Amino acid sequence: MKDLMAVKSFRYASRALQPGDTFSAKDRDARLLVAVKKAVEAPATAGEASSDPATPPPSQLEPVELDALRVRYKELFGKAAYYGWDAATLGEKIAAGGSGSDE
């Protein structure tokens, strides 16, 4: 069994999981859920996750940052960002494009 954290809403083992929920899955199911990007491996220890209860899981933080980066990309390049880029990739594109257009 592997400990996972849901990234998207879905049903598994008679449970309706929401982003940020942790659950255990069989090894085979875990590989599949990670491959289709519905879940990621849970933090290594439960102590890390509960040490700061005010901090929401990363899956709840990223959409706000991603939206801001998409707006910045559109301002810089005049076109919409590719929907498949995550926040890190989009940040790299903005940094590379922003430095090149300043000169």
Residue 103 has pLDDT above 60, yes or no: no
Query: How confident is the model over 13-19, as a mean pLDDT?
Result: 89
Q: In the chain, what is the straight-line distance between the N-terminal and C-terminal CA atoms, in Å?
A: 54
Report DSSP state, residue 1.
-
Return the number of other C-beta atoms located less than 10 Å from residue 56's C-beta.
11
**Strands 15-17 and 10-12, sheet pairing:** antiparallel
Over range 57-62, report the average pLDDT. Answer: 54
Lowest mean pLDDT among 48-57, 64-73, 92-101: 48-57
